[in-house]
Structure 1
Amino acid sequence: MKRRSILALAAGTSAALVLPGSPARAAGTVPYDVTAFTDSQRRELVRYAADTWRSMEALADPTTGLPADNIDGDLGEDSRSAYTSPTNIGCYLWSAIVARKLGFISRQAARERIGKVLDTLASLQRHPYSGMFYNWYDPATGDMLTTWPEDGSPIYPFLSSVDNGWLAAALMVVGNDDPSLRRRANAVRKDMNFAFYYNPDALGEDFGAGQFRGGFWPEEPPGGGVLDNYVGSGPDVWFTGHHYGTHNSETRIIGYVAIALGQVPVEHYFAPARTFADNCDWSWQEMKPVGDFQNYLGIEVFEGAYQYRGLRFVPSWGGSMFEALMPDLFVPEATWGPNSWGRNHPAFVRGQIEHGLAEAGYGHWGFSPASDPHGTYREYGVDPMGLDSAGYTSDKERTTVDYGFAGCPDREPQPEPDHYGDGVVTPHAVFLALPYAPMEAMEQLTRLRADFDIYGTGGFYDAVAVRSATVARRYLALDQGMILGALGNLLGDDVIRSNFCDDRTEHRLRHAIGIEEFNIPADQ
C-alpha cells in the first residue's frame, strides 16, 4: 500500500481506521480509539508517522541493517552515531512493522529490512550462558564495542536486563507478525534466558517472588559487583548492586517477557514496590504515601500511592512519561487492569499536564529522558511524581520540591519553588499520552510546531527547552521508536500489542494484572 492510500483511509468517514488484512482485534484489549480524532487529526497523525519512519530509515546502516543510536536532524548518513544497543535494535524492528502496517513500505520491503537485522543479530557476539546481547555494538560492523567511539574511553562489556527485555519483546512481535520471519526471529530469541538476571531471594527467602538485577559483567569491572549465578549455567558473573524494585517503570517489560516465556513465576509481577512503605524506614522517598497491604497470589503488596495537585497515582522512579507508558505499547495494561493501570495511566498523564501548564507555567508539557538542548542527554520528569527524592526535574535548572515525610526526623517539608526555569519538553512523551488525553495531546503537538522550530524531515526533533526556545535537533532511535509504537497501535489496529499478546502471553499475564486494585479512586 502506498503512502497516499493510508492518507486516503485517514481522510475517510469510517468509524475506525482499520487497514486491509488486519486481524480481528481481541475484544476489549485496548484503550486506543481512533474515533476520538477528527479526519484532519488522523491525517496529521499519519503524516507524523510517515516522517518519523523516514528518520528510522536514515538511522539504519545499509550493510548490517542495524540502527544507530542517534542521527542529526538533517539525516545525513555521516552523522549517524557509531554505536547502538539492543533497545535501539528492537525499536527499529517494531518500527518496520508499523511502517508496513501503515503502508509506508511494502510487506516484502519490511521482510527484507527485518530479515537483514535478524541475520546480523544471529552473528553478534553474545554471552554464551544466558544468550543475552551486550549493551553496545558498532552498527556498521556488528562488532561488540570495547572503547567508546566518541572519546576512546574503555567500555567494560555489560549485559543489561532491560535492554535485552526490549529486544526480546520486539522479536516476539516480529515472530507473531509475519510467519515467514517467525523461525528466524525465534531462533535469535530462544536462547535468551531472563532467569539469569532473576534473584528469587531478592526480598528474602520466604517472600515468594524475586526481582531482576539491572544487568551483569562477565568480567569484574572497576568497582566490582555482586558475584553470583542464579541458574548455575556457566561461571559466576558480576551483577549490578541493585535490583529493579519499582513497579511503575519501563523495566516491567522484563517481567512481562520473562513471565510470558515461562522463565520466571507469575508471582514476580507483585514483587516490585508500588511505593515503599509509609514508615520512617522509607522516609528517603519523595513523599509519604497513602495505602495499606493487600495479598495477591500469596504476595503481600503495599498498595501505596502519592498525592499531587488533587491526583492520586502510583509514581514512577523519576516521574517521567516513558517509565510509566512505554510498556503499555506492548501490553494493554489499562484494559487488562482496569482497577490498576486503567486508573493510573490517565492520572499520570494528567499530572504531567498539570505540572507543565499550571504549576511550572511552561505553556507546554511532556517530560521524559531525552536529548538535552543544552548538552547531550538528560533525564527529565515531574519531580513529585517520582519515588526518587532527588527526582528527575523538568527544567534545566533542576528545580526540585520536598514535601517532607510527616513524623520522621530530618524530613520537614521545604517551601515550594516560586518559579521554574527553562523547562525541557520531548515530543515522544506527548505521543505516549495519546490514548489517555487525546485532545490535549493533539493540541500540545500543534503548539510545539507553532511555537518552536521543532519539526524536520524526520518528524519532531527530540526535545526543546521552552523558555529559551533551544531545540535539540537530532533523532534518537529509542524516542522515534516510541512514537511509531504509539502511532502504530493507534492507526494500525493495535499492531504492536496484538502481536506481543498472543494466547500464551495473555494466559500467563492477564489474570495477575487484572486482580490488582491500586489505591486510586475510580472517579478522580
Structure 2
Amino acid sequence: MTSIDRRTLLGTGVALGFGSIGAAASAAPPGRPDKPRPGKPAPKDHRTETLRRWAKDTWRSLDAMAFPSTGLVADNIDGDLTTPGTYTSPTNIGGYLWSTLIARELRLLTPGHARNRIAATLRSLERMERHEPSGMYVNWYDPSDGSMLRQWPEDGKVVHPFVSSVDMGWLGAALLVVANADPSNRKRARALFDSMRWDVFFDRGFGSGPGANVGGFWIEDPKREGVQLRAPFNGVGGPDIWYHITHHYDTAVSEARMVTYLGIITGQIPAGAYFATYRTFPPDWTWPEMPPVGEWDRYEGVDVFEGAHTYRGMRVVPGWGGSMFEELMPDLFVPEAAWAPQAWGVNHPLHVRAQREHGMDEAGYGYWGFSPSSDPAGGYREYGVDALGLNPEGYFSDQEKTDYRHDAPAAQYGDGVVTPHAGFLGMQYEPDAGFENLQRIETELGCYGAGGFLDAATTQSGQIAHRYLSLDQSMVMGALGNILLGDRLRAWFADSQVEAALRPVIGQEVFGAGQ
C-alpha cells in the first residue's frame, strides 16, 4: 500500500492557460474537459504578473539549492536561502531539470544558461554510481560531488543504498521532458532514459492479476526484517538484490502510478498493471473506515471494482492518504483529464473541490491545500484530507490529527496545516479559487520569503515552516509551467509515442466518481 517514508522511499484540470481555464472549466461538464492546447501561452490577465512573480521567486530558491559544479540540487534549504542541504535524490534531480526548462520558457534565465545547467546535471548522472543492470539510481547522493551516500549527513547513521521506484519515476519523467524540450541535450537524456528497466520493480507474482510495483530494492543487505534476497525481477540481470516484498504500490490514486506509466510506455510493464491497483478496497472488505460505493468492471483482462468514497455529496476515488500530490503530481506530465475524461477527467476536479470544501467549509480553516510537507512544528509530516484516503491511520489536515468519520457527528478540527505546493496543483483545476487561496496564504499567513512560498503554515497558531524543499518547489514550477505556458510541461512529456502507448489504456476506463 502506498505510504511515504521520506528517508527510505521518497526523496525528500486540464490547464489551458490561466486566462482561459476558468471559462473552460465552467463550460465543460464533469468528465468532459476541453481538449488541452499544448504549448500555447496563456492569455494575460490581471493575475499574470503575480503568477510570474511567484515563479521568479520559486526559481530563486531552486537556484540557491543548486550546486553549479555538479548541476545537482539539494533536497532543501533554509528560509533565508543560505544553507542548502547535504543530500539529494533522483526526485530532486528530476524536479530541477523540468524547473530549469520552465524557467527558460518564462525567461528567468537564457536558453544558453538553461542548456548549460542541464548539461551539467546530465554529466553528473552519467558518472554517478547506480544499479547498472537496471540503470536505476539509489535514493541519496551528495549534491556537491554526486557520490552515493553511505552515511546520513545529519546523524552519521549507516545508509544502505536503496533504489526507490517512485523516486525513479520522477527522474525518468524528467529525462523524457529534457529529450523533447532541449535539442542540444536530447541524445544524452534519451540514452539515460533508455538504459532504465522499469520492470525491475514489477512483481508479476503479486496478487491474482498481472502484478504490481514494489517500493524498490536495496543493492546491499539492509539487515531488515521482511527483506528477501532474490534475483532482479523479469530477467533484468546482475547480482541478486534485496526486495521488501510485502511493500507494493497497490492504489490507483498514487504518485507511484508514474512508474506504471513509464513501464507501459516502454513496453516493459503490461497495461493490465494499471488496472490491478485499487480504486477503493473491494466492497466485501469489512475493516476500511468508509464503505465504498461502486460497481465491478473489466479492463485488459482485469476485474476492477470502480469504487469511490462519498464525501459532501461527491463520489471521489480516494488515494492512500488523501493528499493533493497523490492525485495530481502525475497529472503535471500526463494529460490525464483529457486522455481519460470519464476517469481522471471527473476525479481530478472533484478531488480539488473536496480539498477546498474541507478547508473552507467543513474544517473552517479559511485556507486549503493539504499534502505531505515540512511540519511547521518541526520535521516532515504527511497531511491530507482523511475522507479522501484509504489509510486507516489517516493523513490529517490539522496538527491535532482530527479523524474524519463518515457515520459520526461533524468533527471539531484544530490548527490546520496548508502547503502551497498543494494549492498550486489545485489551481490547475480551480484557477480563480486557487489563486485567491494562494494570495491569502502569502499575505495573511505570511508564508512567503525570498524564495517564494515557504513550505507550510498553520492556519490558527501562525507557525510557518521556514524551509524550502526542492521537490515541493519543483511541483510549484511544474504547475506554473502548465498554467502560464498552456500545458507546456504536459506537451514536452506527452509526445505522439507516449500518447499512442498510454492514452488507449487509461482512456477506456469509467471511474465510479461523480456528483
Q: Give the AA of the match of 1:212.
A: N
Q: Give the AA of the match of 1:391.
A: G
Q: Which residue of 2 aligns with 1:23?
A: none
Tell me how far apart the structure 2 counterparts of residues 158 and 466 of structure 1 sit (CA, whole Å): 36
Contact 2:87 2:142 in 1 (8 A): yes
Residue of 130, 137, 149 corresponding to 1:133: 137
Residue of 316, 339, 358 corresponding to 1:336: 339
Cα displacement string for residues 184-209 of structure 1 (whole angstroms, at most 9, x for unaligned residues): 111222221111110112123xx2x2
Secondary structure of the 2:464 match is strand
TM-score (norm 1): 0.89
Structure 1 residues 393-404: aligned runs within 5 Å: 393-403=396-406
User: 1:260: how far off?
Assistant: 1.1
Q: Give the AA of the match of 2:219.
A: P
Structure with larger Rg: 1
- Give yes or no for the alignment of 1:50 onto 2:56: yes
Q: Which residue of 1 aligns with 2:31?
A: none
Q: Which residue of 2 aligns with 1:300?
A: 303
Secondary structure of the 1:231 match is helix
343-352 or 448-457: which moved more?
448-457
Instruction: Give the direction of change, closer, same or farther, for the CA distance of 1:315–1:32 in structure 2 (3 Å limit).
Output: farther
User: 1:416: how far off?
Assistant: 4.5
Tell me how far apart the structure 2 counterparts of residues 64 and 284 of structure 1 sit (CA, whole Å): 49
Q: Which residue of 1 aligns with 2:74?
A: 68
Q: Which residue of 2 aligns with 1:472?
A: 465
Q: Which residue of 2 aligns with 1:320?
A: 323
Contact 2:38 2:490 in 1 (8 A): no
Contact 2:228 2:243 in 1 (8 A): yes
User: 1:174: how far off?
Assistant: 0.1
Instruction: Give the direction of change, closer, same or farther, for the CA distance of 1:29–1:297 in structure 2 (3 Å limit).
Output: farther
Tell me how far apart the structure 2 counterparts of residues 297 and 340 of structure 1 sit (CA, whole Å): 16
Secondary structure of the 1:433 match is helix
Structure 1 residues 115-514: aligned runs within 5 Å: 115-204=119-208, 207=209, 209-224=210-225, 225-228=227-230, 229-232=232-235, 233-240=237-244, 241-279=246-284, 282-403=285-406, 413=407, 415-417=409-411, 419-514=412-507
User: 1:401: how far off?
Assistant: 2.3
Q: Which residue of 1 aligns with 2:13?
A: none
Secondary structure of the 1:391 match is coil
Contact 1:31 1:435 in 2 (8 A): no
227-236 or 390-399: which moved more?
227-236
User: 1:129: how far off?
Assistant: 1.6
TM-score (norm 2): 0.91
User: 1:347: how far off?
Assistant: 0.6
Percent identical: 52
Q: Which residue of 1 aligns with 2:10?
A: none
Contact 2:18 2:483 in 1 (8 A): no
Contact 1:266 1:508 in 2 (8 A): no
Q: Which residue of 1 aligns with 2:112?
A: 108
Contact 2:39 2:491 in 1 (8 A): no
Q: Which residue of 2 aligns with 1:39?
A: 45
User: 1:38: how far off?
Assistant: 6.5
User: 1:414: how far off?
Assistant: 5.1
User: 1:12: how far off?
Assistant: 11
Contact 1:66 1:140 in 2 (8 A): yes
Secondary structure of the 2:217 match is strand
Structure 1 residues 75-114: aligned runs within 5 Å: 75-76=81-82, 79-114=83-118
Contact 1:94 1:173 in 2 (8 A): yes
Instruction: Give the direction of change, closer, same or farther, for the CA distance of 1:437–1:351 in structure 2 (3 Å limit).
Output: same
Tell me how far apart the structure 1 counterparts of residues 165 and 44 of structure 2 sit (CA, whole Å): 41
Q: Greater relative contact order (Cα 8 A, min sep 6): structure 1 or 2?
A: 2
Contact 1:32 1:490 in 2 (8 A): no
Secondary structure of the 2:248 match is coil
Tell me how far apart the structure 2 counterparts of residues 437 and 11 of structure 1 sit (CA, whole Å): 10
The alignment yields a C-alpha RMSD, in angstroms, of 2.1
Q: Which residue of 2 aligns with 1:21?
A: none
Unaligned runs of 5+ in 1: 1-9, 17-26, 404-412
Cα displacement string for residues 54-79 of structure 1 (whole angstroms, at most 9, x for unaligned residues): 11111101211100000011111xx1
User: 1:81: how far off?
Assistant: 0.5
Secondary structure of the 1:510 match is helix
Q: Give the AA of the match of 2:441.
A: L
Instruction: Give the direction of change, closer, same or farther, for the CA distance of 1:32–1:503 in structure 2 (3 Å limit).
Output: closer
Instruction: Give the direction of change, closer, same or farther, for the CA distance of 1:328–1:12 in structure 2 (3 Å limit).
Output: closer
Unaligned runs of 5+ in 2: 1-16, 24-33
